[in-house]
Amino acid sequence: MRSPDEIAAEIEGLCAERIAAEGLPSTVPDAIAAEITFADAAQKLMLEAVSALRARPAARPLDEWHEDFGPALWWKFPVEEAPWCGGPLYSGWPGYHTHWTPLPPVPADPGLGYNPEGEG
């Protein structure tokens, strides 16, 4: 999945191409078709950007964690360092992390080939 910044750059590129284009469509139906094509491309890119942003898990506060969740990635905001992996009941708990996110899914075995769903 592309990052929102990559998608924004593509949208900017589309706008620049459109502005730099020479001449206008010769007929009104051609002009309308060109507008619809441009709007469709921009809308698809915007939806992709929204999906990329939504794919990021929301950080949950410390008081929502329970040992049944098991290890998690622990964050201190603003994020200035890598997350700590474990839980508040683990030895070595730093004690200053305020939020957590679940661990990501286990990656597929590289020997089995590419799996875009992340399931092995």
pLDDT at 120: 46
Residue 23 has pLDDT above 60, yes or no: no
Domain boundary assignment for the chain = 4-54, 60-112
pLDDT at 48: 79
pLDDT, mean of residues 70-78: 94
pLDDT at 33: 66
Whether pTM exceeds 0.85: no
Distance CA 62, CA 68 (A): 14
Question: Looking at 2-76, which runs of residues are DSSP E strands?
Answer: 60-61, 72-75
> Bridge partners of 3?
none
Give me the chain's average pLDDT, please. 78
Q: Mind listing the pLDDT tens digit for each residue in 77-93? A: 999 999 999 999 999 99
Distance CA 16, CA 19 (A): 5
pLDDT at 107: 76
Residue 20 has pLDDT above 50, yes or no: yes
Residue 21 has pLDDT above 60, yes or no: yes
pLDDT at 22: 52
